[in-house]
């Protein structure tokens, strides 16, 4: 079996969904499992619904209506006949969502988040599978929550591999186009869980691993994995092939084209990963495989904006010892600050972190009792894999460099835009 993943950008409107059909015509759809994300920016729109729900905002109803309207317009563009069962199926999904909003009693934000945000994928796959059926492709819609089992760590659930393997190998049948949701799972009480934002690539890898799939293809709005995000670098070039190792490194440092958790299950079973353009499905794209040399060999750039550079020094000139470091990291972990770079000297310790949840104030209050804390907000972290002088110059030009770290293959530069 082959696993194909279609992300939000590929199904953002009726044209996109029709294009998925034409990609399938080109790439084949027999013995294929499609893993599909929510349409366009639906996950963000549902996050607004969640916020309004918790804020008890008067905007709650209108934010739900927005999501409904968006999907309804897509349905109207796809099916001339409003009696097509797709309309009723999507209505049922929205009715379930509204029932949840009206009856939920749980105050647990993360739990509620997952129960609501999951409708993005449930609805997108409902639309897509009705459309494929409409176009004459024999399709089976699978509720991923019957397959991917996780713990109850809502919003960032951990996969229970044994159960998941059992479910998938027993119940996913080939010879037909299977369509399922990315990003979602369910816990032991069958409540919906999610695997972390952008987690649909990971879902594709989970299925591929459990099915011993022939390959995974993730279809993107870019020609493949490039040596930089083409949104920020004008001269980004396509990488024809890279190794799992290189892909893991790029994803780890923040190349958002592949979700970092995707590579490990694939690498374990040496299942090749193709990253291809859904606009030009005949182009070869990037192939990620074992030991594949980076080709062409180019410096690769990764940009992370909105970082926070924190420098801690000891108040009394004592060394920053292991126990301090483990305490500092414990705090970062507890407050969900993601550490992207570390630099250590005798009496000072610097880290570049991402404070996604706005917790730094609390962390700072605790740290300030023991250390002198300096910090710079809104810095940018550049990572250059396979750097050379020219590549470093491209990054440093017209910027104030406040920290630089060099290892054999990788240079990291923290800048303040000037």
Give exposure, 101-132, as e/b (b: 16+ Cβ within 10 Å): beeeeeeeebbbbbbbbbbbbbbbbbbbbbbb
Please say which residue, 119 or 219, places its beta carbon nearer to ligand ADP. 219
Does 260 help bind ligand ADP (rule: CB under 6 A)?
Answer: no
Find the binding residues for ligand ADP in span 177-206 (CB under 6 A): 198
Stretch that binds Mg ion, among 70-78, 128-136, 192-200, 347-355 (CB under 5 A): 192-200
Stretch that binds ligand ADP, among 78-86, 90-98, 123-131, 249-257 (CB under 6 A): 249-257
The answer on whether 79 is annotated among ligand-binding residues is no
With CB under 6 A, what is the number of residues at the site for ligand ASP?
12
Decide: 413 and 404 in contact? Cβ < 8 Å.
yes
Q: How many other C-beta atoms can be found within 10 angstroms of the C-beta atom of residue 55?
A: 10
The answer on whether 175 is annotated among ligand-binding residues is no
**Binds ligand ADP (CB under 6 A): choice among 112, 225, 337, 411:** 225
**Binds ligand ASP (CB under 6 A): choice among 38, 128, 226, 236:** 38
Cα angle 344-347-349, degrees, rounded to a multiple of 5:
35
182 binds, among ligand ADP, Mg ion, ligand ASP, none (CB under 5 to 8 A by kind): ligand ASP
Stretch that binds Mg ion, among 4-12, 68-76, 85-93, 377-385 (CB under 5 A): 4-12
Residue recorded with tokens 């060394």: 319
Rounded (10°) angle between helices 119-134 and 60-78: 10
Peptide bond into 296 cis (omega under 30): yes
The closest alpha carbon to 249, from 230, 267, 271, belongs to 267
Does 224 help bind ligand ASP (rule: CB under 6 A)?
Answer: no
**Binds ligand ADP (CB under 6 A): choice among 2, 3, 4, 8:** 8
**Binds ligand ADP (CB under 6 A): choice among 71, 149, 220, 276:** 220
Does 13 help bind ligand ADP (rule: CB under 6 A)?
Answer: no
Does 256 help bind ligand ADP (rule: CB under 6 A)?
Answer: yes
- To ligand ASP, the closest distance from the beta carbon of 283 in angstroms equals 23
The answer on whether 4 is annotated among ligand-binding residues is no
229 binds, among Mg ion, ligand ASP, ligand ADP, none (CB under 5 to 8 A by kind): ligand ADP
Cross-strand partners of 379: 307
- To ligand ASP, the closest distance from the beta carbon of 1 in angstroms equals 21
Closest-CB residue for ligand ADP?
7
Ramachandran area for residue 398 (φ above 0: left; ψ -120 to 50: alpha; else beta):
left
**Binds Mg ion (CB under 5 A): choice among 2, 3, 5, 7:** 7
255 binds, among ligand ADP, ligand ASP, Mg ion, none (CB under 5 to 8 A by kind): ligand ADP
Q: How far apart are CA 195 and CA 259, in angstroms?
A: 11
Q: Beta strand pairing status for 139-142 and 177-181?
A: parallel
The answer on whether 399 is annotated among ligand-binding residues is no
- To ligand ASP, the closest distance from the beta carbon of 293 in angstroms equals 29
Known binding positions for ATP: 5-8, 231
Residues forming contacts to ligand ADP in the complex (CB under 6 A) are 7-10, 37, 198, 220-222, 225-226, 228-231, 255-257
């Amino acid at each position: 079996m082959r696993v194909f993943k279609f992300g939000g950008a590929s199904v953002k409107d009726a044209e996109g969904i029709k294009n998925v059909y034409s990609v399938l015509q080109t790439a084949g759809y027999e013995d294929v499992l499609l893993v599909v994300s929510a349409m366009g920016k639906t996950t963000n729109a549902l996050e607004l619904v969640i916020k309004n729900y918790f804020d008890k905002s008067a905007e709650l109803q209108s934010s739900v209506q927005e999501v409904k309207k968006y999907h309804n317009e897509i349905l109207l563009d796809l099916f001339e006949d409003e009696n097509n069962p797709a309309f009723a199926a999507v209505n049922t999904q929205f009715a379930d969502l509204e029932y949840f909003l009206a009856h939920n009693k749980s105050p647990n934000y993360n739990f509620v988040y997952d129960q609501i945000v999951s409708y993005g994928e449930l609805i997108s796959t409902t639309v897509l599978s009705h459309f494929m059926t409409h176009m004459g492709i024999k399709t089976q819609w699978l509720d991923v929550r019957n397959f991917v089992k996780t713990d109850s760590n809502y919003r960032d659930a951990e996969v229970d591999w044994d159960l998941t393997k059992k479910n998938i190998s027993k119940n996913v049948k080939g010879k037909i186009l299977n369509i399922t949701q990315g990003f979602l799972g369910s816990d032991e009480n069958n409540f919906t869980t999610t695997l972390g934002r952008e987690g649909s690539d990971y879902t594709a890898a989970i299925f591929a691993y459990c099915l011993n799939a022939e390959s995974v293809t993730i279809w993107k709005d870019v020609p493949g994995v490039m040596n930089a995000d083409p949104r920020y670098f004008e001269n980004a070039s396509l990488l024809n092939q890279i190794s799992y190792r290189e892909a893991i490194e790029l994803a780890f440092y923040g190349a958002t084209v592949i979700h970092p958790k995707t590579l490990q299950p694939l690498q374990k079973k040496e299942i090749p990963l193709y990253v291809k353009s859904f606009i030009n499905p005949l182009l070869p794209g990037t192939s990620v495989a074992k030991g594949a040399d980076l080709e062409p060999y180019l410096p690769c750039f990764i940009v992370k904006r909105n970082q926070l550079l924190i420098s801690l020094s000891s108040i009394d000139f004592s060394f920053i010892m292991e126990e301090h470091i483990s305490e500092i990291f414990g705090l970062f972990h507890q407050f969900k600050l993601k550490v992207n770079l570390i630099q250590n000297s005798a009496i000072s310790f610097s880290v570049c972190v991402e404070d996604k949840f706005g917790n730094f104030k609390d962390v700072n209050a605790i740290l300030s009792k023991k250390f002198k804390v300096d910090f710079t907000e809104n810095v940018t972290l550049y990572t250059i894999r396979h750097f050379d002088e020219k590549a470093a110059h491209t990054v440093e030009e017209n910027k104030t460099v406040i920290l630089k770290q060099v290892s054999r293959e990788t240079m990291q530069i923290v800048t303040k835009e000037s």
